[in-house]
């Protein structure tokens, strides 16, 4: 058994859609344990960093990824 952690980054995120044709960003074997860290929110709803933990990757994701579809 291997313990794996998938963190959010420009390489591991897409924004606003699901597509089974996308290449996997992580391959796991039966019995592996995976922790998936997630992020959410458009730039206008990022909480106050002095009161909440906001992952550093979020700014890079906002800057480099283009949302597809409506921002909910």
**Into how many domains does the chain fold?**
1
Contact 42, 71 (CB under 8 A): yes
Neighbours of 45 (CB within 10 A): 8
- Farthest-apart Cα atoms in the chain, separation: 41
pLDDT of residue 71: 58
| Entry pTM | 0.73
Which residue range is the domain that position 15 belongs to? 1-72
Span 19-69, pLDDT tens digits: 889 899 999 999 999 999 988 778 888 888 899 888 889 989 999 998 887
* Coil/strand/helix, residue 4: strand
């Amino acid at each position: 058994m291997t313990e794996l952690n998938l963190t959010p980054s420009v390489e591991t995120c897409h924004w606003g859609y699901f597509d089974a044709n996308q290449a996997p960003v992580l391959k796991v074997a039966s019995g592996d344990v995976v922790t998936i860290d997630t992020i959410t929110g458009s730039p206008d709803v990022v909480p106050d960093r002095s009161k909440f933990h906001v992952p550093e990757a979020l700014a890079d994701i906002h800057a480099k990824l283009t949302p597809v579809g409506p921002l909910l």
